[in-house]
Structure 1
Amino acid sequence: MNWLLVVLGAIVGAPLRYLTDRAVQARHDSVFPWGTYVVNVVGSLILGLVTGLAAAGAAGPHLQLLLGTGLCGALTTYSTFSYETLRLTEAGSGLYASANVVASVAAGLAAAFAGVFLARAL
Structure 2
Amino acid sequence: MVNKRDQLKMLERIARIKADLELKKFAAFNQHMVQARQRAEALQMAMTQSYRSTAPLHLSEARMANAQAGRSARELRYAQREILRLQPKFEAARKDAVREFGRAEVLLTLADKHRPKGPGDVY
TM-score of the aligned structures, taking structure 2 as reference length: 0.41
- The structure with higher relative contact order (CA 8 Å, sep 6+) is 2
**Max Rg structure:** 2
TM-score of the aligned structures, taking structure 1 as reference length: 0.42
